[in-house]
A and B are shown apart, each in its own frame.
Chain A
């Protein structure tokens, strides 16, 4: 490749960039910033209304929360403003680099013409040869200077891309610190986990192997350490049931968990969760009460929770209407169900453990979620079966649930789900899921 080819190729690298696209990104940031201001104003109006009814004592925490939510919006808006500035900095750097590249390209084209001209008509006299040779060397030297200049232009531009790119990359979420964790590199997630999960840093500091595993995102290795597994389960809101040797979850810790649904899903993936679940093809077990329009969804999970643990879950959710775009809430009040879930080995029938409603508030054992996970690396998740008895508030609801589960089972023969009706007093049904 000649020196001129190199100059043109280098100029191409910046000339092809689009300042318009960078402008668009900055504009998008500012558009979102305006929307955040609107949400903040709506939050403020809730705060004002609430403060009118508050006269000290109760309500103070709610007002503080609303202030915190407003601050979240300010932080997000500020974040987007800074992001917009990064895009504009890159846009300006690109515009400058493009301008410089165009000018160097024009200079190079002139030089190249000179070079061609210098050799034109060569071959008649000795002296022509000498002049042409001298001109050739002079022009090529100038071209090398141009190339060096252009290299400086692209290196400077690259430095801006590096600095602003890093600024953009290292912005964490403002409402949710682990936002973007699927795309973040594993060491970044590790650093955030160290900061977020109480006691994990001290544990990891004592053990260089664990630190190494965390920095390299070797979640399986981390979860093999029972103390680390305990801390992570605690963080996700799980409670240990000593009697049955399994983790379950309380109703209220799960309220906060619900907000962390995405975190759970994402951490679930990095922690090596591999679960069978109902509804993966979009066909969920859902039924509607024709009197009220209230719609119910039952979901089942079972399988591997990291390399160290196995178990299952039964979740029950409600929505005020069937037209809910898939948005359900955790069942509350008398919609809650009483579940006795057993995790067993479907090949030899061995029962591993049973959660008879642990984790529920009070003594009624009614919950929206029956979860039971045991840490034991030697159990093969492929062999897991789940069976459960579900008690609901009345026979009508039981029958609707039974009909829906039967429909689902017939539509998904690979799930190997069998459902049987139990007693009417109390209204129960049982199922066995051997997927």
Chain B
């Protein structure tokens, strides 16, 4: 009985995580750093930086989505009447979380 409540709480916390606003970066194209000899190369450095940060934030969001989905899938298949259910639920989370990139 106690663990059923835990599953519901975990599931609710996951739902809140899923509803959280995905972090985004509002920075736009390369800032105007003037037109000295190095300015052009700096714009290239900046482009790499921006693309990397945006991709990494996307990857982080994918991580969150996989996490939320793993919990919700495990919660859906949880049957409180089964005496092994608690372990099965936790094991399902163990294995599915490990497959999420970090």
Within 8 A of A (CB), among B1-57: 3, 6-7, 9-10, 12-14, 16-17, 20-27, 31-39, 41-42, 44-49, 51-57
Is the C-beta of B101 less than 8 angstroms from some C-beta in chain A? yes
Q: How far is the CA of A168 from the CA of B63 in the complex (A)?
A: 24
Best-buried of A31, A38, A65 by chain B (most CB within 10 Å): A65
State which of B23, B60, B87 has its C-beta within 8 Å of the C-beta of A57. B87
Measured between beta carbons, the chain B residues less than 8 angstroms from A53 are 3, 6-7, 9-10, 86, 90
Q: Is the interface of A mostly helix, strand, loop or mixed?
A: helix
A252 touches B6 (CB 8 A): no
With A49-B6, A154-B36, A259-B101 known as contacts, the answer to whether A80 contacts B53 (CB < 8 A) is yes
Is the C-beta of A227 less than 8 angstroms from some C-beta in chain B? no
CB A81 to nearest CB in B, in angstroms, measures: 12
State which of A158, A183, A256 has its C-beta within 8 Å of the C-beta of B47. A183
The digit string for A232-271, where 1 denotes a CB below 8 A from any CB of B, is 0000000000000000000010011011111000000000
State which of B21, B36, B58 has its C-beta within 8 Å of the C-beta of A13. B36
B34 touches A58 (CB 8 A): no
With A35-B21, A46-B13 known as contacts, the answer to whether A182 contacts B51 (CB < 8 A) is yes
B36 touches A72 (CB 8 A): no
B93 touches A256 (CB 8 A): no
Within 8 A of B (CB), among A43-93: 43, 45-46, 48-50, 52-54, 57-62, 65-66, 68-69, 72-73, 76, 79-80, 83, 87, 90
A68 touches B55 (CB 8 A): no
Q: How far is the CA of A83 from the CA of B87 in the complex (A)?
A: 44
Measured between beta carbons, the chain B residues less than 8 angstroms from A260 are 101
A39 touches B9 (CB 8 A): no
State which of A13, A54, A173 has its C-beta within 8 Å of the C-beta of B35. A13
A65 touches B98 (CB 8 A): yes
Q: How far is the CA of A259 from the CA of B97 in the complex (A)?
A: 12
Q: Nearest A residue to B93 by beta-carbon distance?
A: A62
With A15-B34, A38-B20, A53-B90 known as contacts, the answer to whether A262 contacts B55 (CB < 8 A) is yes
Measured between beta carbons, the chain B residues less than 8 angstroms from A73 are 60
A259 touches B51 (CB 8 A): no
A17 touches B32 (CB 8 A): yes
Q: How far is the CA of A80 from the CA of B98 in the complex (A)?
A: 26
Measured between beta carbons, the chain B residues less than 8 angstroms from A183 are 47-48, 51-52
Within 8 A of B (CB), among A137-181: 154, 157-159, 161-162, 165-166, 168-169, 171-176, 179-181
Within 8 A of A (CB), among B43-93: 44-49, 51-60, 62-64, 66-67, 69, 71, 73, 86-87, 90-91, 93
CB A11 to nearest CB in B, in angstroms, measures: 10
Q: How far is the CA of A142 from the CA of B14 in the complex (A)?
A: 70
Q: How far is the CA of A59 from the CA of B6 in the complex (A)?
A: 13
Is the C-beta of A103 less than 8 angstroms from some C-beta in chain B? no
With A58-B90, A176-B101, A179-B52 known as contacts, the answer to whether A28 contacts B25 (CB < 8 A) is yes
The size class of the interface chain A forms with chain B is: 35 or more
Measured between beta carbons, the chain A residues less than 8 angstroms from B54 are 179-180
Measured between beta carbons, the chain A residues less than 8 angstroms from B32 are 16-18, 21
Number of residues on chain B facing chain A (CB within 8 A) = 67
B31 touches A165 (CB 8 A): no
A173 touches B56 (CB 8 A): yes
With A46-B17, A65-B102, A168-B45 known as contacts, the answer to whether A161 contacts B33 (CB < 8 A) is yes
CB A137 to nearest CB in B, in angstroms, measures: 30
Is the C-beta of A392 less than 8 angstroms from some C-beta in chain B? no
State which of B37, B52, B97, B101 has its C-beta within 8 Å of the C-beta of A171. B52
Q: How far is the CA of A257 from the CA of B67 in the complex (A)?
A: 15
B71 touches A46 (CB 8 A): yes
Is the C-beta of A384 less than 8 angstroms from some C-beta in chain B? no
Q: Nearest A residue to B14 by beta-carbon distance?
A: A46
CB B15 to nearest CB in A, in angstroms, measures: 10
With A157-B36, A158-B37, A161-B36 known as contacts, the answer to whether A179 contacts B56 (CB < 8 A) is yes
Is the C-beta of A22 less than 8 angstroms from some C-beta in chain B? yes
CB A62 to nearest CB in B, in angstroms, measures: 4
A52 touches B9 (CB 8 A): yes
CB A233 to nearest CB in B, in angstroms, measures: 18
A52 touches B100 (CB 8 A): no
B31 touches A175 (CB 8 A): no
Measured between beta carbons, the chain A residues less than 8 angstroms from B46 are 165, 168
Is the C-beta of A36 less than 8 angstroms from some C-beta in chain B? yes
Measured between beta carbons, the chain A residues less than 8 angstroms from B91 are 58-59
Measured between beta carbons, the chain B residues less than 8 angstroms from A35 are 21-24
Q: How far is the CA of A22 from the CA of B33 in the complex (A)?
A: 8
Besides A53-B86, A169-B49, A180-B51, 5 more A-B contacts (Cβ < 8 Å) are: A12-B35, A76-B57, A161-B41, A173-B56, A262-B55
Some 10 contacts from A to B, beta carbons below 8 A apart, are: A13-B36, A43-B17, A43-B64, A49-B13, A60-B94, A65-B98, A87-B31, A161-B33, A169-B48, A173-B52
